[in-house]
Structure 1
Amino acid sequence: MPANPKYLTQSKGQRFLKITAAILGGYFVSVTFHLALASWFNRVNVLITMAFTGFILWVALMVVAFLAKSGWKIWGIYLLLTLFFCGIIYLGQTNNPITK
């Protein structure tokens, strides 16, 4: 049974924004989240676990992007989350430097 057209996004711009937010934005949030965890916890364990949980989180963020009303809004949320996790990565690397 096909989707009801009244629920589909009519604007090509909004469709493009949602697709790019789902693919790129979801990936950025997923990777920075796991790198933020790796900067505070055991890096090896987190990065090995990222092979599985990173994909699951990325798919969940893709679904969220298509559920959003506005492509601009979901891009803004994903960029803010990415910047937030980048800040946590920075703090984790300054407070827990790698000793070799």
Structure 2
Amino acid sequence: MPANPKYLTQSVWQRIAKITAAILGGYFVTITFHLALATWFNRANVLMTMAFSGFIVWVALMVIAFLAKSAWKIWAIYLLLSLVFCLFIYLGQTYNPTAQ
């Protein structure tokens, strides 16, 4: 049974933006989140955990990207989260160099 057209995204640009936000944006948020954890906690443990939890978080972020009304808003949220996690990575490497 096909989907009801009124629930589908009509704009091609919105569709492309949602797909790229789901794949790339979700990946960037997942990786920066786990790297931020690795700079503050035991790196080996976090990276081993990332092998499993990273995939789960990435898939969850993909689903959220497709549920969002506006693709540009989800892109903005994902970029903001990635930048915040990058700040945590920088602060972790600056103030906690022993977690290497």
- Give the C-alpha shift of residue 52 in structure 1: 0.5
Flag the 1:8–1:99 CA change in 2: closer, same or farther, 3 A.
closer
Aligned length: 100
- Give the C-alpha shift of residue 47 in structure 1: 0.2
Read off the aligned partner of 2:92 and give its amino acid letter: G
1:78 maps to 2:78 = yes
Query: What are the residue-to-residue correspondences of 1:8-87 with 2, within 5 Å?
Result: 8-87=8-87
Q: TM-score normalized by structure 1?
A: 0.96
Flag the 1:12–1:41 CA change in 2: closer, same or farther, 3 A.
same
Structure 1 unaligned regions, length at least 5: none
Q: What is the identity percentage for the equivalent residue pairs of Structure 1 and Structure 2? A: 78
Moved over 6 A (4+): none
Flag the 1:17–1:58 CA change in 2: closer, same or farther, 3 A.
same
Could you say what the CA RMSD is over the residues aligned between the two structures, in angstroms?
1.3
Read off the aligned partner of 2:42 and give its amino acid letter: N
Flag the 1:99–1:37 CA change in 2: closer, same or farther, 3 A.
closer
> Residues of 2 paired with 1:74 and 1:2: CA distance?
26
